[in-house]
Amino acid sequence: MVIISKIFKLCRQIVGSKQDKGPVEAKAQPQIIPRSEHNISRKQFSPNAIKVLYRLKDGGYDAYLVGGCIRDILLGIEPKDFDVVTNATPEEIKRLFRNCRLIGRRFRLAHIVFGREVIEVATMRGHHISASGDGDPTSKASEQGQLLRDNVYGTIEEDAQRRDFSINALYYSVKDFGVRDFAGGIEAIKARRIELIGDPETRYREDPVRMLRAVRFATKLDMEIAPATLSPISELSPLLGNIPPARLFEETLKLFLNGKAEANFLMLRELGLFKELFPSLEEILEREESEFERRFVQQMFANTDARINGNKKVTPAFIYAALLWFPLRSRAAHLQQQGISEYDAFMQAISQVLSENAQRVAVPKRFTLGARDIWHIQQRLDRRSGQRAYRLSLQPKFKASYDFLLLRVESGETDQQALADWWTEYLKQDVSGQKDMVKNLGQKDRPKRRYRNKPRRKPKQDT
């Protein structure tokens, strides 16, 4: 069945390559789909997004809902984010809305705040006249072609050409309730195809994160990446090293917390992107003897998807604890070989692995602290005598640590099966039952009794 699946996939790629027309270009004149020919209604949008559109229109500006919300409605998916694009500058937007704050250096954006909901408003982007100049306050690019500063404003036609994928170059107007399609986005949605606008290599060099977005959209929307869009990714994957680690953390969260983490993980590895995000883990996964490690990570992502799709909570601390678990164990073993004690080696390995990972993906401290707790508790789960089991079960990260232990067993770490079964039964018992379980552990788990050497009394001297 695996061979048949691979042959079928190869055939689809060959057929797709024959049908691929090369780079997709945005048109100067869009295809306008009138209200009578599409299924989009204002009722499907956030009321606050509609307020923003009308206030911009009443202020004399052009304004459109753009991108993901239009795409999702056309696909029958309930939209979550509502992005607005306008020909008003960020300063002009701020003058119209008292609840506006301006953010961003690379590209200035306006956030219109309605309680917990934020409507993002962007000024239409234009083309770069010059990609050099340190003296240009609006535009700057690196030697690799990556845009470092992008405050160049333009028309809606130019903005469409600057969009990343054709399925995101769709604009909805409240003036006539029509949809403007500048790059064949409607056709791409019908064909279920992810395709970049413009030359793929140039667009990836402008912003390497587009490679991660291509993967995320393909799995999220159940679409194929067009051959011309797919082919440069493996070669250009090292460009992710130029992206700030904090931004890559945000992108990995989107990849791992969207209910498609397992599919994203497999595609990231296939395209050579995963090693740019977690190089120490990928080095381990590439080894032939690392079947357990591969199964562990894939099972972790599968469990994460099941929880998210079941509307259960998932903490990023658990995900990153799992992703760095094998690099941590490998580093700790290496330090022990150098004569460092087991405990000290484990502590040093934690600091080193987290520090090295922060050079690629900057995980915030609130999550690294959680990962540390999960790792520490793994070392203490077999110490259950006396009050230890009870005290350990009260730790804030105990439930996540218990789930981590179950994941280890589920992935094939059979020597931990008895320990996992004991904790599973322990958590089912009342206080009396838990005490009985601890008493029945046997002598081997009891701490050795320590005897203090009492000082000898000096003999009384006869007076």
Percent helix / strand / coil, the chain, rounded to 5: 55, 10, 35
Catalytic residue among 20, 72, 150, 164: 164
- 62, 81, 199, 207: the catalytic one is 81
Angle at 223 between CA 186 and CA 208, to 5 degrees: 95
- The enclosing H or E element of 1 equals none
CB count within 10 Å of CB 289 equals 7
User: Catalytic site residue 382?
Assistant: no
Which pair of structure tokens corresponds to residue 405?
């232990």
φ and ψ of 225, to 5 deg: -80, 125
Using alpha carbons, list the distances in angstroms from residue 382 to 249, 415, 421: 33, 12, 12
Which tokens in the block code for residue 85?
Answer: 């694009």
| C-alpha pair distances (Å), 371 with each of 73, 114, 217, 398 | 38, 34, 28, 11
Q: Which of 20, 72, 83, 150 is catalytic?
A: 83
- Work out whether strand 147-150 and strand 139-141 pair parallel, antiparallel, or are unpaired: antiparallel
For residue 134, the SS3 value is coil
The answer to whether 354 and 335 are in contact (CB under 8 A) is no
Is 164 a residue of the active site? Answer: yes
Q: Is 403 a catalytic residue?
A: no
Give me the torsion for CA of 386, 387, 390, 396, rounded to 10°: -130
The C-alpha atoms of residue 191 and residue 184 are separated, in whole angstroms, by 11
Write out the catalytic residue numbers: 81, 83, 164
